[in-house]
Structure 1
Amino acid sequence: MTYRTKEYLSETVVNLKPSGIRRFFDLAASMEGVISLGVGEPDFVTSWSVREACILSLEQGYTSYTANAGLLELREEIASYLLRNFHVGYDPKTEILVTVGASQALDLALRAIINPGDEVIVVEPSFVSYIPLVVLAGGIPVSIQTSGADEFKLQPQQIEQVITSKTKALILCSPNNPTGTVLNKKELEAISEIVKKYDLLVISDEIYAELTYDEAYTSFAAIEEMRERTILVSGFSKGFAMTGWRLGFAAAPSEFLQAMLKIHQYTMMCAPTMAQYGAIEALKNGANDVEEMKKSYRRRRNYFVQSLNEMGLSCHLPGGAFYAFPSIKATGLTSEQFAEQLLLEEKVAVVPGMVFGESGEGYIRCSYASSLEQLQEAVKRMKRFLTRL
């Protein structure tokens, strides 16, 4: 008997597009001497004290499951951290869940709130996972296209224009991946008025909250009356340079959190135990390391964005994360053509903006989470490429 494999697969999964970022990563990995500005990953190694805490937990034999929601001590530290840094309070026993990366927290949040046919607003350019996760949860993604003329900042009236009777939630990401755009308190308050008016929920992806450079970060959950409408998603990957540890968390009113916990119990059981012990140390004693990384990113940002503008690739100054999102429209190439030619001709890997949504076309995402020396060499190569064009 010959099985017709595709006929047995989920239509939803078959129709999902593979990640547009992955093709460029795979191509770059097959080439010698490539400078990658494509990976959204710190170039710093996780702080030694955090690694040491993880090693100690192994030496002491802490290799069993934790509670489904995570170690209570870690949840208590997360609660203290959120209150101390972002002025929003959560009960560590019922309102915080430790997850396998922020990506799992996003998945759990969407599956916990979506009924088939519910619409979820996605602000583009956006992280590549948002729309697929909405679809996998049975929802309908509704995109809003932001503009480079506004530094890709969401305008409240844009939300109103797409709201229907089926609209359930809005996904926010500030600082934004891929643009680095940060929404300040006043801008978030304006969005909150629309959220209240139309009785929406908000999934606030705050994974880059530690990495803001020009003003204090404002959590959407800290905006008046928004805590009860918000599922806050964050983690340790970006601010604490712990990408490979796969550790994130969600904080939300207990009704939302306990619904997410149900799914987590059946699909994941708990996050890795040794990573949780490392995260406790990061929250207790990692502030100085985070600040040093932040200072370094800020210097790199200033150099790289200035260099982009000087070579004719117009780019706003990103307020957070570690991405620049310059326009390549003046070259006459599509973002995919630009990225592919730059990689093949000069061995510099960037991500075409079109993978982040329609409004990303005409732009490329460049990560400046590389050493200053690598950024300087990348700038030289990009200038040569543009000169030939």
Structure 2
Amino acid sequence: MKHRFISKRYWKDKSTPMGKVDELSKGFDDVINLSLGDPDLITDRIIIDNAFQDARNGHTKYTDFRGDPELRQEISTYYKEEYRMDVKDSEIFVAASGCLAMYLALEAILDDGDEVILQAPFFTPYPQQVELARGIPVELATYEEEDFQIQMERLEGLINERTKALVINTPSNPTGSCLTLETMEKIAQIVRKYDLILIADDIYTSFSYQHPFVPIAALEGMRERTIIINSFSKNFTMTGWRIGNIIAPDYIIKTIQMINENVVFTAPSISQRAAIHALRNREAIQPPMVEEYRKRMFYAAERINSIPHMSVIYPPRGTFYLFVNVKETGLNSIEASDCILREAHVLTIPGISFGQCGEGYIRLACTVGIDILKEAFDRLEKVSIFKK
């Protein structure tokens, strides 16, 4: 919006196809929403009840600037038990959401004009988060025919004297792909070779269906040059609690703390208590949740691959997103998503929202039950662009 009272940085309209499709959906009263990554399941009662009791017991005040010491200890214990990583208390920061954690990390490391390479297709906020930190986003394309693995020649071709960091996301939103250990080892070699910082967006670690998740920070020589962004939103269905954390070298954590004190001061105390109980009870909470989404993903992928002019990688690799190839329809991603909405009243997100290499795809979120997914695909089978 152009106005003399608005910063010129925001005069240019940067609304995405995602937002435009969402506006269109309001014209229908029976829309099946497969667009947003907000799980239909609610936070487990173990977390809610314990956090509620903590609130009654007085945990309603500011916490330590780096986060509740109990939560920092639980995070350290988690990495020790799950990944055999020794994470020091001074390397942990608790943030008010994974999104804020990403922005704080970028703000801490970037100088004006620094370039940040983004694994694409990417989580939609990445480019603007880089720009807010006065950096320049650079898209690193990955492709379905390469199983959405990062190709090293393509990566090296983007690196120059202005390159400061690389952002990776595995399991990936939106593609659902998982970087192989071989790919991550090659990435680590390049990051060390060019003296880069790597930001690992480790949001969907529990949703790796083919192989156990391995943090790239656990690879040789990567701890000192990796910033881990984590969140409780998806791994524990806690999207509304807005709680995440950062693991990084202590000098980066100190800088992030200084920045955050002038943004939100501390993360919400109640949400931090909820996160403590999530980690302590993860073995009871996570398996049934992950299994439910796995069933949905496999069901949805099978239905997609049975419909003409739609296809998706099978079996699903991770997350609860499916990146559906609709190139055979002859439409671009916005047109295909619009047609699906108008004819089937099913809301999806055009692939172009996730970077240029996302063109020709739509993203579906399996955040509704199989009964609703069945209804959605029954409708999709009748859409004109999917007829033989």
TM-score (ref. length: structure 2): 0.96
1:159 is aligned to 155
Change (3 A) 1:189 1:338: same
The alignment status of 1:98 with 2:105, answered yes or no, reads no
| Matched ranges for 1:245-260 at <5 A | 245-260=241-256
- Give the deviation of 1:222 after TM superposition: 0.7
2:54 is aligned to 57
Q: Find the aligned partners of 1:371 and 1:215 in 2 and give their Cα distance.
A: 24
The alignment status of 1:226 with 2:210, answered yes or no, reads no
The alignment status of 1:235 with 2:231, answered yes or no, reads yes
- Give the deviation of 1:197 after TM superposition: 0.7
Q: Find the aligned partners of 1:98 and 1:149 in 2 and give their Cα distance.
A: 38
The alignment status of 1:212 with 2:208, answered yes or no, reads yes
Q: Find the aligned partners of 2:304 and 2:66 in 1 and give their Cα distance.
A: 44
Q: Find the aligned partners of 2:32 and 2:152 in 1 and give their Cα distance.
A: 39
- Equivalent pair of 2:35/2:364 in contact (CA under 8 Å): yes
Which of 360, 363, 381 is 1:365 aligned to? 363
Deviations 1:14-53 (A, max 9, x none): 2361243222233324521111111112221100010001
Runs of 5+ consecutive residues of structure 1 not aligned to the other structure: none
Q: Percent identity?
A: 36
- Equivalent pair of 1:146/1:153 in contact (CA under 8 Å): yes
Q: Considering only aligned residues, what root-mean-square deviation do their CA atoms show, in Å? A: 1.5
TM-score (ref. length: structure 1): 0.96
Q: Bigger CA drift: 7-16 or 73-82?
A: 7-16
- Give the deviation of 1:328 after TM superposition: 0.4
Q: Find the aligned partners of 1:373 and 1:206 in 2 and give their Cα distance.
A: 30
- Give the deviation of 1:62 after TM superposition: 1.8
1:147 is aligned to 143
Q: Find the aligned partners of 1:123 and 1:112 in 2 and give their Cα distance.
A: 20
1:6 alignment partner, SS class: coil
The alignment status of 1:322 with 2:320, answered yes or no, reads yes
Deviations 1:254-274 (A, max 9, x none): 011111111111111111111
- Give the deviation of 1:344 after TM superposition: 1.6
Deviations 1:132-166 (A, max 9, x none): 00011001111111112112211122110011101
Q: Find the aligned partners of 1:5 and 1:137 in 2 and give their Cα distance.
A: 22
Q: Find the aligned partners of 1:103 and 1:91 in 2 and give their Cα distance.
A: 23
Q: Find the aligned partners of 1:330 and 1:346 in 2 and give their Cα distance.
A: 18
- Give the deviation of 1:220 after TM superposition: 1.0
Q: Find the aligned partners of 1:15 and 1:123 in 2 and give their Cα distance.
A: 25
The alignment status of 1:289 with 2:285, answered yes or no, reads yes
Q: Find the aligned partners of 2:250 and 2:16 in 1 and give their Cα distance.
A: 33
Which of 30, 40, 45 is 1:48 aligned to? 45
Which of 33, 51, 55 is 1:36 aligned to? 33
Q: Find the aligned partners of 1:107 and 1:116 in 2 and give their Cα distance.
A: 15
- Give the deviation of 1:286 after TM superposition: 2.5
The alignment status of 1:12 with 2:33, answered yes or no, reads no
Q: Find the aligned partners of 1:242 and 1:327 in 2 and give their Cα distance.
A: 30
1:271 alignment partner, SS class: coil
- Equivalent pair of 1:211/1:321 in contact (CA under 8 Å): yes
Runs of 5+ consecutive residues of structure 2 not aligned to the other structure: none
The alignment status of 1:67 with 2:64, answered yes or no, reads yes
2:127 is aligned to 131
2:343 is aligned to 345
Q: Bigger CA drift: 75-84 or 168-177?
A: 75-84
- Give the deviation of 1:11 after TM superposition: 2.4
Name the amino acid aligned to 1:348.
Answer: V
Which of 150, 175, 180 is 2:176 aligned to? 180
Q: Find the aligned partners of 1:16 and 1:258 in 2 and give their Cα distance.
A: 35
Q: Find the aligned partners of 2:26 and 2:206 in 1 and give their Cα distance.
A: 30
Q: Find the aligned partners of 2:226 and 2:218 in 1 and give their Cα distance.
A: 10
1:310 alignment partner, SS class: coil
- Equivalent pair of 1:108/1:264 in contact (CA under 8 Å): yes
Q: Find the aligned partners of 1:46 and 1:209 in 2 and give their Cα distance.
A: 17
- Equivalent pair of 2:60/2:270 in contact (CA under 8 Å): yes
| Matched ranges for 1:73-84 at <5 A | 73-84=70-81
Change (3 A) 1:342 1:247: same
Question: Aligned pairs, how many?
Answer: 385
1:288 alignment partner, SS class: helix
